[in-house]
Amino acid sequence: MNEQKTRKSKVIKYFILVCFLLDVSLLIYCQTNREIDFSSPSSAFYGDMTKYTIALYGSKADEVQGGREMPGRVFLLEGRGSFSWQVDIPESGNYEVALCYAADRNGSLLKVTGGNSSITGTVRKTKGYYYDSNIRWQQNFERVFLNRTLELSRGLNKISFGFLDPIPRTIMYFRSLELVPTWKKDEIRAEVERAYNVRAVTDWLVEAGYGLMLHWTSQSQPENGPHKSFAEAVNNFNVDEFIDLIEKTGAGYILFTVGHAESYCPAPIKSWDEIHPGMTTKRDLLMELADKLNKRGIKLLIYMNSPNMARMGKVSAEEYLENHRKILMEIGERYGNKIVAYCFDSWYQGYEEYPDFPFEELYRICKIGYSKRLVAFNTWILPVVTPWQDFWFGETYIPGHPPATRVLQNGPGKGLQYHSLIVLEDLWVHRNPTKMEPPWLSAKKLADYIKACMENRGAITINVGTYQEGTFGEESLAVLTSVKKLVRGE
């Protein structure tokens, strides 16, 4: 009898243990496979950079040893290297530490010191958009939090970061070290929740699947004849023929460039002309494009280069915001829901220049005239600098991993709607007076990538080289018309 009780007791214990393990497994599965519900504050990702973050950039370090600066303001560290900064800490206390980097493998030990405290850790291979590649700039940058805090005192503190061992020779691309005051967690949580809760719905972007970006700028070269002034090119732009061309590609939307390397605007925007005299046009090409695209069910988005448009480095942070405000208020009120998204370029540079920039205020300015307008701030392949945006700009240049989920779970755009911006030819702007370069992507490769992204609710924008006449290269157009058949079935 005692034997039976003992056996029964063991069976019950095993049963309880199995149930517990199943519950844990289910919990882990749900946590790692769910998408973030923007309507639920408790599900928001709290690793975002906010106004409380103190960012220390490799490019602004007081001392650099063993690192080589690369394009994009990142440093290449091959198993060794160190940085140090003299930092004026505003308040004494404990600070969490995050490193923004890309690494090709796990292994090397690292150390961060500040004040009388230090943190050690291990570099881990980062995840993200790109497949493993020998092309070094294609790196998966992430914001990686260490598991301990630094105790810092108010006033000047020397903060340093570096490797403790050179083996294994981890290849790291280092962007920055970030300090987050632990006692500001409630304020940080509140800001991130506000940003998540007011995000615009991206359903139309997802349903469109793919669109085209056109770097049609003052530098664009013609297919035939001499180069025209920007005003003349705008006056000669044939909107009807252009939209006929767009329809052949199956694009669900157009991302049209307004200002780029040179700050020309193809519309009579008074505030733009105040900041950039003589660089607007009498013809409102944006209005004509918006009206005629919308009639055919194609949406219009506009790209703006924030540093050039708002005169970064030449004005104070207050003036930088004010320049954005003037232009965006006028554009928002003038076009309303005819322009459904703003895509702002060069914000990893902008935030480095203006570390106290009020993104929440700018985000709300962007909604003037149309509350559902989408907003994205481009930080290239580096971690995003604000939660105050609606989707990942995703300047990736080449096709990479299709999304596993609609909302990115890792990489530089973690927590945002998946979107990537790639090029059809190996260029952004057709600025050389030659025949358009041939596409480097085949129709099948491009269509397969688009379909894989659409399957998990991601969107793709394809930059297509554009002549000054508003036309495409013949080979590029052939690829895009084939893509339409392969993706849309038309």
- Is a pLDDT exceeding 70 seen at residue 27? no
- Is a pLDDT exceeding 80 seen at residue 136? no
Helix (H, G, I), strand (E, B) or coil at 268: coil
**Token reading at 404:** 């596993």
- Is a pLDDT exceeding 90 seen at residue 245? yes
Residue 453's φ and ψ, nearest 5 degrees, are -70, -45
Burial class of 129 by CB neighbour count within 10 A (0 to 12, 13 to 18, 19+): buried
- Is a pLDDT exceeding 60 seen at residue 35? no
- Is a pLDDT exceeding 60 seen at residue 9? no
CA distance 358 to 391: 18
Q: What is the pLDDT of residues 51-96, one digit of tens each?
A: 899 999 999 999 999 889 998 999 998 878 899 999 999 999 999 9
- Is a pLDDT exceeding 90 seen at residue 137? no
Residue 96's φ and ψ, nearest 5 degrees, are -70, 155
Using alpha carbons, select from 138, 140, 211 the residue that is nearest to residue 413: 140
pLDDT score at 42: 32
Given a contact cutoff of 8 angstroms between Cβ atoms, the answer to whether 282 and 234 are in contact is no
Concatenate the DSSP letters of all residues of 151-217 into one string: EE-SEEEEEEEEES---S--EEEEEEEEEEEGGGHHHHHHHHHHHHHTPPP-HHHHHH-EEEEE---
Q: Which residue has the higher pLDDT, 103 or 12?
A: 103
105-108: list long-range contacts, CB under 8 Å, 24+ apart.
105/168, 105/170, 105/171, 106/170, 107/168, 107/170, 108/79, 108/163, 108/164, 108/165, 108/166, 108/167, 108/168, 108/169, 108/170, 108/172
- Is a pLDDT exceeding 90 seen at residue 14? no
Domains and CATH numbers, the chain: 54-188 (2.60.120.260), 198-488 (3.20.20.80)
Instruction: Give the Å distances, CA to CA, from 420 to 8, 84, 213, 357.
Output: 58, 34, 11, 25
